[in-house]
Structure 1
């Protein structure tokens, strides 16, 4: 997002990178379990989450759905299970699965449609939800958050959801558990307000330096 704002004319030295949103919550969840179930938490109206109408094409992958807008006629019941809609303060302790999916494309391929393209710039709150709750995440490889996820080994990135079967096959249980340890460390920071506090400290430093 900072690159886009600079491109639009804002001065880079006046911008602070938050890195990722905090998610203040009392977490009791033990986090993800090694396997092939992907969590989708958010607006499940098929007009917002069009890619979910195509998940039947992905072999060996299953989706646990949470959120408003669900219509069972829009989804492949063999590939997905709906668990209901929950308040933001309780959902971290409700979600179950192996990975949290952050995907807003209209297709299985990433970046399609206005919401899909917006992932190049935005910082989806659901990423923070998944990490706070202890789940490694999967994001589009060109998403703004992709470098943060890769650099901290908090999950993996793909260009197309049809890559999911081969990707999870490459990840051993030991590797998955290492991801979970990294997720736990970052998740604790997210739950404590660490990233906002760090951004505020940087902002104060910039202000002092420019007095």
Structure 2
């Protein structure tokens, strides 16, 4: 009789009343993990697919050459110029629009390219420092920068020159003070400002 009772007890299914609180929590956690893992895998695969396919076509002219690209819509114009087109003359300084090292011309107007999404400039005409020379000859402002020693380390120089070209085109070169004001968005940490102002004034006089 006792043997039969023991056998019945041994084979009886475990009921919730036989399980401890720890057993219940462990079982629930394991069940949840099994159900969540496929979802996580699906989400990761979906994110990877979106990352690969989420590009937009853009077409613009850079230094006289038409460019057709597929880009991440989150990419700045600066990054596209440097990483997609290998135009590394345009420098990445603060990457916050505060130093002016990334200044370029878009449709003749100067902008800081680090704060500009490339996808916004479809069909634009873009000029970088590499596009200033013509037939192997330096731009007059480039020559003036050399003549007046408007640089020291040179890191900010491409942005300074591009901003200077824009400043001259805008007609803001009536005096040294006016040039200083309209070039104030371009920082030179070496302090070569006297040479920069002199170079812009010189090139403006020959424009």
Query: Given the two structures, how large is their TM-score scaled by the length of structure 2?
Result: 0.26
Query: Given the two structures, how large is their TM-score scaled by the length of structure 1?
Result: 0.25
Higher relative contact order (CA 8 A, sep 6+): 1
